[in-house]
Every structure is written in C-alpha cells, then in structure tokens.
Chain A
Amino acid sequence: MQFEYTPYILPLLLAGVSSVWVAYYARSHRSVLGASALTFLALAAGIWTIGYALEIAGADLETKVLWSKVQYVGVTTVPLLWLIFCYNYFNQNRQLPQRVIVALGIVPLITFLLVLTTESHGWIWSEYHVSRTGDFSGLKVTHGFWFNIFWVYSQLLVLAGIYFILRLISHKHGLYRGQIVALLGAAAVPLVGNLLYIFHLTPVPDLDPTSFGFAVAAVFMAWGIFRFQLMNLVPLARDTLVDAMEAGMIVIDAQRRVADINRAALTMIGRTIGQVIHQPAAEVLSRWPHLIKKYASVIEALDEIAIGEGEQQRWFELGLSPLRNNDGTVIGRLITLRDITEQRRMREQSQIQNKYLSILHEITLDLLNRRELNDLLQAIANHAADLLNAPYGEIMLKEGDELVVYSFTQNQNYLSGDRVGRDTAKLAWQAHDTGQPAVLDDYSAWSDHRAIYDQVHLTAVADFPVMVEGKCVAVIGMGRSEPGQVFTPEEVQTGILFSRLVGLVLDSANLYASAMREVAERKMTEFLLQESETRYRQIVENADELISRTTVEGVITYVNPTSLWLFGMKKTADILGRNYLEFVIPKWRAKVRRFYLRQFLSVEPKTYLEFPVLTADGHERWLGQNVQIIREANQIVGFQAVARDITAIKRAQEALSLARDQAQEASHFKGDLLARVSHELRTPLAGVLGYAELLRDQAFGPLSTDQMQAVETIAESSEYLSTVISDLMDQAQIEAKKLVLHFGECSPSELLQHLEEMMAVLAQKRGLTLRTILEPDVPGRVESDEQRLRQILINLVANAIKFTKQGEVRVRIFRPDPTHWAMQVSDTGVGVPEEAQATIFEPFQKVKSALTRDNRGIGLGLSITKQLIDLMDGQIVLTSQVGKGSTFLVTLPIHKTGR
C-alpha cells in the first residue's frame, strides 16, 4: 500500500475530522431525540470523507480501490441515516419504526456487498483505472447498472429527509428558523456536490466534490450547534409546552413585531397565526389601544386587565417581561396572559360576602343591645331594609292564626296594625309554611298581590321566615319599587343569614324577657311579704291575746294594744322600757323571775306559766303566758310572750280544785300512806344496813367470827326487809293504778349480763349453777321497761335459787315467733304442786301457807311479776312437776303494743 501527498486531501481530512467531532458531540447529547441518528450520520460522513482522502492519497490502483471500497461504508449508509435523523428530529417527536429502517436498509446493504465484489460482476464499477490530472490522481470508474439504481434510491432518501424539514418549516417561525436553515445548509451542500460529480460537472475531472460538501456541512452543523443550540432545544418541546399552555404567550421582538405566539394567545385575541406572525404588535393588538398605550414603553409589568364588554368580559393577568440575549441587551418582550375571570369572580363574591358578614355582625351587636321588644323589632325592620338595599321592610310576628305587623320602615305607615290571616298575605304565609324564603320579581303583577302595597307599587319582594327552635315565629318582608331590580341569589342568601340571626336574637330577647318576668315576680313576692307583714301586724294589734317582747334582762320593748288595755294604760310609752316584773304581784315576782331565768339558762325554747299581775287601778288579774326565746345569729336576744287573761278560768279552777283536792286527798290517802310508810321504814333500814356493812368490812375494827356472823345476819335481814318494802310499794301502786312503765330500748344480752352479776354469787353460795343462754335469733334491742324487766327476771331467778337444793338454774332467752321474745327460767328444784299452780300468781298466796325458814316471804314476788308482765302485754306460764323442777316461761312483745 503506497500513498503520495496531494493538497486535495487536506480539506477532506478536515471535513472528516469535523464529522467525527459532530458525531462525538451528538453522542454526548444522545438523550435528545434524533441525536443517535445524527451520531451515526456524522460518523458515516466521516468515514466517507476520510476514505476518499486516503483514496486520493493512494499511490497505486490497489490502494485506491481498497479505500474506495471503504468509502462505501459511508456512501451506502449516509442517505438512510439522514432520513432517520430528519424524521426523528423534526417529525412530532416520533421515531422511525425499526422495521421501516430494516426495510429501507436492504438496498444499501446489497449495494455494499456488491461494492465488495464488484470486480467479479461489474455491477457497481464496470471498469476502473487511475486517472491523473496535475497533482490529483483519482480512481476513474465507469458505474455499473446497480450503482445507478442505488444513486436514485439515495437521492430519494435524502429528499424524503428534506421533506420532513420543509414540512416543519411551513409552520415554524422565529427562533427555530436558524436551526432549520443550518440543517438544510448542511444537507444541501453534499447533495449539490454529489450532483456535480454524477453529472461530471466538477472543475477537476474525477474529483468527487460530495466529500468536500461534507466539510462545508460540518461547518453548517457547528454553526447550528453553537448558534442555535441544535442539540439543546428540540423545536417540538417548545410546541408541546408553549402551545399546550393555558396562559397566552406572545413574544415581541425588538422591532415590536410578533415573533412568536402560542395557541392560547391566538384564541384570546381571536386571530390565526398567519395574521399575526411578524406583524407589528400595535396592529395585532389594535383592538386594545389602551393596552398598547399603557405598556408601549414598559418592559416589565404585572397587571390585571379586562378584555371584552358586559357578559362577554373576561379578566386577564397580564405579565410583561423582557427577553435578553447573552450579553444582556433586550431583544424583545414576552407577554403572558392568564385568564383569571373565574378567580376574580369568586374573589369579588367573597368580598361581598365578607361585607355582608361584617354588616351582620354589627347588626347582631346592635340588636342584642335592644331590650324592649318593639324597639328591637323596629331595628330589625330597618336593618333588613338597609342590608338588602330594599327601601321597604317590615316584620310580622305570628300570633295564633295570624301574622301581625309589629314594625315597618317609616315609608310604610299604612301597615300600622296590619293583621293578616292565611288567605290574605299568601307570600308571607308561604315563607312561614315552607321555612324557605318566598321571592317574587314583580309583586304588583302577581295575581295574589295585596292592594295595600299598591300605594308604593312594589316590584321585587322577598319574605324570609324567622325560625326559633324549628318553628316559624316571624316573617321579615322586604320590597323594592324600582322595576328590574330583582333580588339576586346572593342577596337571598344574605337575607336567609339575616333572618337566622334575627331568630337567635328573638330567642335571646325571649330569654331576657323571662328573666325580667322573674325579677318582676320577685318584686311581687317582696310586696306580698310586706303586705303580709302589715297583715300580721294587724293581727297582733287586734289580737285578744297580750303580745309583748322583752330584752334578755326583761325590759319591755313591745306591747300590743290589748296589753295596754288590760293593764289600764293609755300609751305604750307608759309600759315600754319598764321591767316586766313590775307588773307581777310582789309575792310572785321571785318565782316568776326564777322560772324565766331557768328558761334562759336551760335554753328551753318555749314555756307556759300562770301568774297574777297587778293592773294600773290596783286589780289582780291572772295571766297564762307562753314565752318563746328570740334568737338572732345563735344568740338569745330576748323573749316573746303571748299571754291570755285567765282570771275567770283561774277563779273557777280554784273553786274546782278545792273540791278536787279534797276528793283526791281521800283517794290517794292509801297510796300516800304506803309511800310514807315505805319511806319511814327505809330510812332507818338504811342506817341498819349501812352500819352492818361497815362493821362487816371491819371499818370499825376487827370482828370475831361470831360477831361477823351476827353482822352478816343483820345485813341480810335488812336487805330482805328492803325487798319486802319494795314489793309492798309495787303492789300498792299497782292496785292504785299508779304504777307507770317507762318504756325504752332494752338489750336482752345486757339483761342477762346484769342478772349474772346480781345472782351468780348467790347461786354459788347455794352450790348451784346459774346458766344463761341467749339464742342468736333474739333481736339486739326490744322495747320495754328495763328496770321492770330486771325485776321480773331477778324475782324468777331468786325464787328458783330459793327452791332448789342442787342442780342448776337455767335462764334462756329466745324468740318464739317473729313478734315476741321470751325468757325461760328453769330449775331442778322442788316443784309446785298442781293445786298450787292455779293460785301461785295471786297476791299474798304464801301468807296462807306456813312460813318456813326456807320459804319465807310475803308472797308478793310472783304476783307483782305477773302483774308487771300483764302491764307489758305479755304472758307468764308455769310448768312444774313436784320433785323434778319448775319452768316459768315469760313471753313479751318485741315492740311496745298500743295499750
């Protein structure tokens, strides 16, 4: 392989290197659509060019043929790659399908294979030889038939690529034109060179200028790349973004012509692209001269502008910003237009609503301050009219089956006292019944209109129901008389809000009214109280009783007229300030004083005392006086007395009591005698017993055994005598019916305990066991006379001990039935013979039988026991067997019976 230098190879090599550089650049931007195709295209062109340079530089035929064949790698692929690139880059972001590429690649592939084997068939080159012209030597070939087929095929592919570029150029403008021009230039130069070569029009014979074309094309490419950023901004991206934008966009160049405009902007200004591109902005926007005037010299702005009139009017946000080139000089302006009609409408609506709300707020405060119903209703009518810009306002309250006009704006005086039933004010009743506002655009033309309103010729009217707790309590009516001024939905909405507010206010006014009523009621109570005080005073003044008050010390602070009259005084001043004792008969004073002193000291709330007093004229009169303590803050501050003149009664009583005393004296003589005898017996007995005990206790010195026995006997005998006296007294009292039981709460368990304390020692002395049993079902408390219960039990147990020589005495308390309890005393003693059992409970029974040492007593014990049990409404039953023992069963009610 031999080469020789020729100057033609320099531009070729340059073009080749440029192509490779373009390939490299495109590859580094392969994310851009079409960049891969451009990479291969530039690479193929590079191979073509460099291959041709080496062919020219080849010194012999073999070298030239070899490199000529190498060129064909580029020759066969460039047209197809060109088409792929154009299609991908300019055709709506779509890629040429792979199967199409494969199909289109068949011819180039066959061509290349034929090139490699052309010596054998001559389809590409039928003849070839080295031809020299000056210092240029090329491979002179005569093309075979296939080459011509391939050539036509190649031109078709190139033209197809150009078609896609031209198709795009038809609706492209402004910025992207430069890119397209650059590409077309790059495509055209090699094409023209190829045509010159094919038709042998080159200045140097056999020199193929196509490759030189590639050198020029590389320059175009570089220009396109650097000047128009061919690889950085794909025209379609702009289409997609800018045209798809909802906002309108207009680019105005330095000459104030429209350089670019998107679809949205075209729609806004209502023109087509052909009518505006490259036209002066002033002309394009001639419909809005004020805009041109306003922004002619403004570079940057943000404003809201209205376009159109009336219903068609739309609002836009106008943005104006400068477009600068790399060195910062302004090369144009970008106008953006955003349709904000809807936002603006909503904003306005909310402003209106806010205005209404703030008015409502003020009204609320105003209404809440009005406490008088008529005043409040008048304010409601006025506010309603003001709020909805309706000159006529009224408010009707529901009263039974009628709506009654309570208040109205001053221009509707004819409504004064208007009451309407269902058949008259149908619109108001409709609002009442439905709970919804009733609105009419022209009231005077309505078939059911009321003549009363014809005076002002109402047109638009709206009636709003006022609801309180779900019930319509009032209707607010509003009216206008200007034709055409209907109530808008927004106004109706405001009216609804207002009527709700009125509902709340009326409700609270109602609460207030009821509070006021309560205050009035309280005042009434106070008045009644005063009145009742007056009444009581009258009662006191006119009472038959003597009513008075004193201090704690007894100084009189008040007397009623009756008192004055009784004491024969003229004025209250004659009594007030004096001590009450001054009016008491002198010999009674100490007693009366003591009596009330005691009441004061013992804080007895109420007492009654009868005593004689002295009147002014010296007469004695008897008073029966109730005295109550007056307390203030837990302290006694005085006495209040209500007294009655009992002089007459007292006289009668005295006479009566004399007779009664005499009778009583006789009847009580027996009882009194017994009591006195008892007392007189007991007193010396106390001395006997006391001294005997002191002696026994050796209080007066030691005693001998005999002396001790004697003293014991004295003590025992006197104790016995004491019980005999007690029994006699009881019996006497029972017979005189003077024995009174003192009922109270008694504990059966304590009763047994007391019994043991009293009797256990005695039983022990006699060598007996005293056993007590308390059954668990016996109540803890029974209602009885504890003292007498003890007496009964001790009597029975003492008897049992007395008549038992050996064994035990058993006391059992149990509950025979739910309403009774029982004491059972059993012994293992001698028993009671059957004939004696019948009379054993009669008094003095033992007296009849012989007194023995073992069996002493006057026989009152069992008799008294039975009588006590009878008084307690109980029963005593004896069961006995001679020699075996006796059982006394006492059954008593748990609760005191009515007797």
Chain B
Amino acid sequence: MTDPVDVLIVGAGASGAAVAWSLAETRMRIVCLEQGDWMNPAEYPSAGRDWEARAYSDMSISPNRRNRETDYPVNDANSPISVANFNAVGGSTILYAGHFPRFHPSDFRVKTLDGVADDWPIDYGTLEPFYAENDRMMGVSGLAGDPAYPPKESVMPPVPLGKTGQAIANGFNKLGWHWWPSDTAIATETYDGRDKCINLGACSSGCAQGAKASTDITYWPHAVRAGVEVRTRCRVREITTNGDGMASGVVYFDRDGIELFQPAEVVIVACNGVGTPRLLLNSTSGRFPNGIANTSGLVGKNLMFHPYASIQGIFDEPLDGYRGPGVCIWSQEFYETDLSRDFVRGYTYEINRGRGPVATALTGMFSGRIPFGEGHHEAYRQLFSRIAGMVGICEDLPEEHNTVTLDPELTDGHGIPAPKIDYTLSANSRRMLDHAVARATEVLTAAGAKDVITEAPIGVGGWHLMGTARMGTDPERSVVNEWGRSHDVKNLFIVDGSIFVTSAGVNPTRTIQALALYIADSMKKRLANLFD
C-alpha cells in the first residue's frame, strides 16, 4: 500500500491536467496516475525525414495500430468509426489538431429548442468564465468578433489564412456563407514559455516546436510546480469502495508491473469517453455488481463520436500543401437547426490546409487519380500542393444503443478487460453527412476546385469520445450530477468528455477543459461539505 492522498486523479490528458492545476491551490496532496509516459518533443516525427510514415506506425492515431506498451487495445470492429486517442502525459492532446471551438448557447438546450436528446443541467453562462480561464492556460489564437458566437476574447492573433484559406474563403464569400478564422490551441506568438508556430504542418503527430497546446506543456508544468505528483506508467485496474459505499482508492499496476493499492479521500476519473466507462465497468464489487457509479445503468451508454465528412477539392494552382498547421478557417453556416432541412441540429466546417507529399501520393493512388506505373509522375504533380478542402463535424445525438462495454476476451498488457465499441450511424447523422458533402462541394467548386474527393463518415475519425457517463440532475437518467460528482458515490468525480449530455457540432476539448475547471471550482467552493 502507498501513502494515502487527498485527491487521486486517473488520467493526465486534457481534463486531468486542468482539474489537477485548478485543485493545486488547495494545497491538498494530489497524485495523478497515468498509464503513459512523459513525451520528448525532440523525438516527434516532424524532427525526422520519416515524419509522414510515423503517422502510420508508432505515432498513429489508432491505439490498435500503434500498439505501444502504454496503449490498451479497443475492439471497434462493430463500428463504422474507429477510436483514435493517445496515452501519455497530455493524453490525446499530444496528437490533436488544436481546433479549439467553444460550444454555443444553443448546444446546451437541444431538448428545449429542437425537442431532441436532453438539455444540459448547466448552460453557456455557467462555463463562460472557465472557457476564458482555460483559454489563458492553453493559449488560444483567434480573431474576436465571430458572428457565430457570443462575444469572446482571443489571447493571440489567428493562424495565417495562407493561400488555402484565401482560396476557400473566396468560395464561401461567393455563396454568401459564414466563415471565420478558426480559434486554435496553437501559439502564434511566444506564450507561457512556448515557442510560436513555424508551420511544420505535422500537428497531428505531436508538435516538436511546442507551439501546439498539449497539456504536457501547458497545464502540467504549472500543476507540478504547485505540488501535484504525476506517476507515469501506472495503469489503474479498478476503483475500490469501502463499507460505506465511498471510493477508498484505486488498484493499479506500476511501471514494473507490480500491483499496488493507492488509498485516496477523493477519486477523479479523467480517462476519456472510452477509458472512463471501461474503468468504471471494471470496478465491480458486491455493492456495485454492474460497475461503480452505475445504478442508472448508463455507464458506457450514449457514446457519441461526431461523424465526420471529408470533402477535398483539387485545384489548378498550388496552395499551402504540406506547410502550415492543419487548422485554418471554419464555417458555421449550417450550425443551428433549420426546419427546411431533413435533419435536426447541424455541423461545423473546418478547412484543411493541405497535405504532405506521401499523403498526396496515397490519396491519389487509392482514389484512382494517380495511376500505378506509366503516368504516375504527371498525375502526382496535378495533385501535389493542390488538394485542399474541409471536414464537416456533425452533431452526434445520444442513443443508448451506442455503447462502450467490456470485451469478453480482449485484454491489455496487464490482463485488464479492454473496451468494446458498438456504434451505428443514425439516419439523422447520415442525412447531415450528405448535406455537408453537397454544400462543401458547392463551396469548393465556387473556390475553383475542378474535382472533389469525399469520404463520409471518415472511418478512422473516432477522435471525439463523449457521453458515456452523462451529467444530469436525475440519478436515474444520469451518472454524475451537475457538478461532476457521481450520484452513487459521493467522493467520486468524472471530468472528461464522458459527462457530455450532447455533443454539439464542434470539437470538444475546449468544453471538456472548461467543464473540468468548473468542476474543480465547484469542489473548491464545497470543500467543507463536499460529500453531503
């Protein structure tokens, strides 16, 4: 047994880092257990000539393909969308692209506005101060004044439009549709000890420059300096409970594979929308035979991914190509529900700047636009630096049959049951994807594209993991209350994307972190009677 701690956080990703930093000022003894390592940015792919190849091997977005010792396998054979993540200090922010939109006020009220899913127990106003605090900690770049949002400040100027942004913005303007420079978690100036972006173009394999705000270089250095201990290569098997039905700590395997018990007064789970239900379901006891915090039966249910459509145009003129961050501009022309369409809710377009030489070859060869053999080089040069387009991020509505359960056979390197995903694309999502493909084709054509390549949904695009331990005020319809505490176990909190009630049509991390800060703040305000 190890020395007891006041607060035990499981997972050092986007949300674990934020909650640790915020709670550090309480001077409680805080330990974070993380199954992965601290990363060394000097070893990221963009520092080597094989930078594109490594996105298919040790820095793949798929844990199954990467298969590092620090990864756990995910059985996602029964899903058209496979899970993407990263397991390390920084979590999936090591690989994320750094698109950093907020939710909108309407996103918290979908039941009231559109009669679907559920309203959140909190609203945009509740999170607004925590969005702002998180923006400062992560260092958000953008341009104030986006008409698709209530007023918000930006910490740094936006990433450049570049040739790609300019071409596609022209397309949106021709149609009279909304676009705006994206809010990004990318430093465009030196910020908080981080260097500014130098357009390496490899953000989704880790940023060697340190410009992209992964939490190992934003929150964690501050939290560690404030006294939080991070223990790496520690994989938690289960959360234990005592006779009073309170969490007593966790059982974990350390870097030598030794099983240890870590007692704690408070346990905070921050393992993401797949890792968190997996851990809760693995934590069974006489009192909680179906997994801890699961009397509602909703742990692992309502998994939401955000089905993505990819719509890429081929242009005559060279654009940014392999240069520059993937993030660029966005459009929320089709964000809010419009009853004249055949779907409810909506989506965001995020414009992709271009792709590297290898990705260009593979796109061309696998789509039949670059022949094998004779004609390869001419065809390649028609595509090189000339492919650019966008993705449509569709709001995924919660459905109980989309689940994370425990695989009966598959386990990780410590023999802990692995997660199994069962997910189907809803008819609403399918129609939204079709709409996103059709409208984006119009934009790209207006922007001068002569051909369009589409994929919907993107099969490898399960990078947003949400909804599997939803928040709410009714213990029968939710897993945690309106400030992240388990209805069943009063010293157990969840702070990651699992607690999302709905997914909105935007990337989730800025909201995940704002929620984590809000939950930490709620805890700090109630320290004297936290378990009442």
Do A and B make up one complex?
A: no
